[in-house]
Amino acid sequence: MPSSTPLSLRILTQDELKKIAAYKAVEYVESGMVLGLGTGSTAKHAVDRIGELLRQGRLKNIIGIPTSKKTHEQAVALGIPLSDLDSHPILDLAIDGADEVDPHLNLVKGRGGSLLREKMVEGACKKFVVIVDESKLVKYLGGSGLALPVEIVPFCWNFTAVRLQKMFEESGCVAKLRIKDESGEPFVTDNGNYIVDLFLKKDIGDLNAASDEILRLAGVVEHGMFLGMATTLIVAGELGIAIKNK
């Protein structure tokens, strides 16, 4: 495409779409709120925007509850006051991205590794705004062919991984321990746990039943299906912003 092409005709990058969705989500933030601050490339834009509005004085008296060490560091650098769930067990709003979103606003999260803290924080919110670009929309959870993460304890991780794979073998499940790219060592979460990624070829059916089955397995800490939690979905696509409320 020629470099002289007008901006309005240029195809937006995935990151630009994420930023558009994130900025739209921050419009839901009001002064005085306690906010869940999400983790990942999309949520980073929202946290940056909240910090910018605080510096400009357009937002005041915000308290953030970060969902990861990385987001904690980002918020501190931006001057966003922080606290935790012990001090604020009910949050006004959380903003975060998602790896997959199905037509019922069920989510897959955790490909960045922060699913446990994200689920704790976002489960304590009155309103949970999810921000994605349109590539994250799927017909069913696992439909992208990418990972459905499960956080597990390191003890006998292979034993747990094999049981998870057998649990969903009818869906063509393959369970793989998440590895750090650079070292070959297991990826370790902020909580000191491992992640087993489930790769599915077919729909796993009743999501609530699948959730219960996974959580009953000894060795499992939490999984990346966020069911019935999102209240608003903001999708950025080439034709603009689409908003879906539950």
Contacts of 9 (CB under 8 A, 6+ apart): none
Picking from 169, 165, 151, 125, the residue whose alpha carbon sits closest to that of residue 215 is: 151
By 3-state DSSP, what share of the chain in percent is helix, strand and coil, each rounded to 5?
30, 25, 45
Contacts of 78 (CB under 8 A, 6+ apart): 47, 48, 50, 51, 52, 54, 55
- What are residue 237's DSSP bridge partners? 240
Point out the catalytic residue in the list 27, 30, 73, 118.
Answer: 118
Is 118 tagged catalytic?
A: yes
How far is Cα 93 from Cα 87, in angstroms, rounded to an integer?
Answer: 16
97 φ, ψ (degrees, to nearest 5): -90, -175
Picking from 6, 14, 11, 38, the residue whose alpha carbon sits closest to that of residue 25 is: 38
**What is the DSSP annotation of 98-163?**
-SEE-TTS-EE--TTS-HHHHHHHHTTBS-EEEEEEGGGB-SSTTTTSS-EEEEE-STTHHHHHHH
Give me the active site residues, please.
118
